[in-house]
């Protein structure tokens, strides 16, 4: 199926929090894969803390390129399986290839990905909007900027998370997702905190404890008044078995799962095992975020706000209105590059 394989690399940086004083930047590498005049696009988003680099990502594409050219007519799943075996890491690079191949396959059939796969189109869904840890006056400013969004996601794990939540509550009573990023270590204190947070209209907690504290996490989940969602504890399908009973749900991200194909497998596994599903993202542009949004109808919670945090989104895809994510009817993953940037 895949001929004329061509890597297409654009490095770009996008500041977070458009009018904030905390300008973190991150980088994505994009590829395009062509066949018979159709072009599939993919994105590898590379937040520094994940350890994947631009150089490593491009090197992975170069390594895989001859294989892709010579296996243009192989079955889709065989291609992905072989690519996976090229390296133990490079999840974001693998995701870029998977997204581009899925985009291409759907475009060849002139169908949106959700139709090609038989998933069906998802209705518009409410997404959370992330408020990063910041100085007090900036938090007020960020909450004002989030006026369109009816659920906020708070990055906690600070020295005093109760003070942080009390501060947020001076500005808004919107429901909150709280992401602790492994920041809490004492299970009794965690449980007490979860009851306190529930009273503050926090509706889920993400990765409260370190990845290594699975037994404690199981103890907490059994008693928790709100859903506990694994993030750092789950990357791929193979991680799911050991999590059973330790969390109420999982945060699936394309840059962890190696793309749409495995993300969908994780969804099926989660459904079968009564795990809740949160669809999340790193700092992807509208390219990878539109791809992930194809799976929205399976999710209990949506956290696909990344394109809103970018100043220079090089793709046009999903749209946002009144805090909801809307799919379009374009063939493929539903995203096309902004011409000026490509
Ligand atoms: Mg998280």
137, 173, 129, 132: which is closest to 156 by C-alpha? Answer: 132
- Do the strands 176-179 and 301-302 form a parallel or antiparallel pair, or are they unpaired? unpaired
Write b or e for each residue in 38-50: b if 16 or more Cβ atoms lie within 10 A of its Cβ, otherwise e.
Answer: bbbbbbbbbbeeb
Residue 18 pLDDT: 40
- How far is ligand 1, taken at its centre, from the CA of residue 294, in Å? 21
Round the average pLDDT of the chain to a whole number and report it. 90
Query: Which residues are placed with Cβ below 5 angstroms of ligand 1, an ion?
Result: 179, 206, 231
**Residue 127 alpha carbon to ligand 1 centre in Å:** 15
For ligand 1, the distance from its centroid to the CA atom of residue 86, given in whole angstroms, is: 28
* Residue 180 CB contacts under 8 Å (≥ 6 apart), including other chains: 156, 157, 161, 205, 206, 207, 208, 209
Q: Average pLDDT in the 74-101 region?
A: 93
Place of tokens 């969602």: 229
Residue 138 near residue 20 (C-beta atoms within 8 A): yes
d(CA 253, ligand 1 centre) in Å: 10
> Ligand 1 centroid vs 329 CA: distance in angstroms?
30
* Closest to 71 in 3D by CA, of 165, 169, 1: 1
Most trustworthy range by pLDDT among 13-27, 69-83, 204-218, 300-314: 204-218
Between CA 117 and CA 109 the distance in angstroms is 11
Q: SS3 letters for the chain?
A: CCCCEECCCCCEECCCCCCCCCCCCCEEEEEEEEECCEEEEEEEECCHHHCCCHHHHHHHHHHHHHHHHHCCCCCHHHHHHHHHCCCCCCHHHHHHHHHHHHHHHHHHCCCEHHHHCCCCCCCCEECEEEECCCCHHHHHHHHHHCCCCCEEEEECCCCCHHHHHHHHHHHCCCCEEEECCCCCCCHHHHHHHHHHHHHCCEEEEECCCCCCCHHHHHHHHHHCCCCEEECCCCCCHHHCHHHCCCCCEEEECHHHHCCHHHHHHHHHHHHHCCCEEEECCCCCCHHHHHHHHCCHHHCCEECCCHHHHCCCCCEECCEEECCEEECCCCCECCCEECHHHC
pLDDT band at 22 (very low <50, low <70, confident <90, very high): very low
Separation between Cα atoms, residue 19 and residue 252, nearest integer Å = 28
Give mean pLDDT, residues 278-287: 94
Which residues, 6 or more positions from 21, have their beta carbon under 8 angstroms from its beta carbon? 134, 135, 138
Give 37 Cα–ligand 1 centroid separation in angstroms: 39
pLDDT of 5 over the 70 cut: no
Instruction: Categorize the per-residue pLDDT at 67 as very low, low, confident or very high, splitting at 50, 70 and 90.
Output: confident
For the record, the structure tokens of 107 come out as 């475009």
Cα–Cα dist 338/203, whole Å: 36
Between the CA of 262 and the centroid of ligand 1 the distance, in Å, is 19
**Predicted confidence (pLDDT) per residue in 32-41, tens digit:** 888 878 889 9
CA gap 113, 222 in Å, rounded: 37
- Going from the Cα of 211 to the center of ligand 1, the distance in angstroms, rounded, reads 12
Could you tell me the distance, in angstroms and rounded to a whole number, from the CA of residue 6 to the centre of ligand 1? 33
Domains and CATH numbers, the chain: 2-111 (3.30.390.10), 125-337 (3.20.20.120)
What pLDDT was estimated at residue 7?
57
Q: Look up the pTM and report it.
A: 0.94
Q: Per-residue pLDDT for 13 more than 80? A: no
Query: How far away, in angstroms, is 303 Cα from ligand 1 center?
Result: 10
Instruction: Kindly give the distance from the C-alpha atom of residue 207 to the centroid of ligand 1, in angstroms, as a whole number.
Output: 7
């Amino acid at each position: 199926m895949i001929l004329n394989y061509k890597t297409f690399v654009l490095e770009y940086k996008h500041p977070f929090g458009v009018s904030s004083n905390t300008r973190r930047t991150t980088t994505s590498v994009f590829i395009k894969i062509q066949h018979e005049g159709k072009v599939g696009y993919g994105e590898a988003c590379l937040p520094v803390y994940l350890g994947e680099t631009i150089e490593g990502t491009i090197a992975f594409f170069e390594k895989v390129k001859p294989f892709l050219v010579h296996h243009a007519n192989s079955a889709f799943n065989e291609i992905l399986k072989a690519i996976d075996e090229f390296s133990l890491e490079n999840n974001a690079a693998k995701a870029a290839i998977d997204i581009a191949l899925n985009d291409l396959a759907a475009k060849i059939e002139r169908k949106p990905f959700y139709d090609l796969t038989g998933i069906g189109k998802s209705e518009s869904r409410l997404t959370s909007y992330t408020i990063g840890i910041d100085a007090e006056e900036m938090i007020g400013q960020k909450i004002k900027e989030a006026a369109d969004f009816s659920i906020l996601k708070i990055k906690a794990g600070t020295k005093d998370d109760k003070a942080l939540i009390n501060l947020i509550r001076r500005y808004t009573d919107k429901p909150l997702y709280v992401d602790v990023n492994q920041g809490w270590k004492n299970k009794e204190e965690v449980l007490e905190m979860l009851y306190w947070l529930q009273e503050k209209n926090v509706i889920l907690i993400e990765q409260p404890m370190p990845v290594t504290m699975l037994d404690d996490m199981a103890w907490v989940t059994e008693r928790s008044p709100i859903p506990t969602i694994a993030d750092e504890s789950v990357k791929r399908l193979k991680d799911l078995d050991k999590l059973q009973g330790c969390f109420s749900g999982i945060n699936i991200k394309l840059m962890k799962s190696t793309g749409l194909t495995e993300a969908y497998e994780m969804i099926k596994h989660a459904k079968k095992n009564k795990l809740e599903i949160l669809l999340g993202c790193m700092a992807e542009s509208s390219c990878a975020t539109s791809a992930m949004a194809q799976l929205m109808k399976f999710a209990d919670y949506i956290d696909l706000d990344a394109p809103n945090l970018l100043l220079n989104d090089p793709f046009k895809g999903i749209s946002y209105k009144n805090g909801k994510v809307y799919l379009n009817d374009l063939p493929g993953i539903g995203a096309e590059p902004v011409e000026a940037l490509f």
